[in-house]
Amino acid sequence: QLVPLLRSSVGHLPFLWAIVFGTIANQIYNSLSVSDTLYDLNWYTGDIWEIKVIRFMMARSQIPATLPAAPFGL
């Protein structure tokens, strides 16, 4: 009675891991496109405050997203 339940739950683990790692990879990929999208705006035609904010956002978005292992104590 326990063995079929264990087999079915273990069979779902690879699917769960694929979803988790796929989501993390998608977040990293999307973080790379923020700087390109900001650059494609007509940021140079705005007023001084808008130019400064968009330039700050472009500089900040060039720092890559990472997945630290700190919560795991490593």
User: CA 70 → CA 30, 38, 62, distances in Å?
Assistant: 23, 31, 22
pTM here?
A: 0.52
With the C-alpha atoms ordered 51, 53, 56, 57, is the resulting torsion angle positive or negative? negative
| Tens digits of residue pLDDT in 28-43 | 777 778 888 888 888 8
What SS3 class is residue 25?
Answer: helix
Residues written for the chain: 74
User: Using only C-alpha atoms, what is the Rg of the chain?
Assistant: 21
- pLDDT of 69: 64
Supply 53's token pair: 């904010």
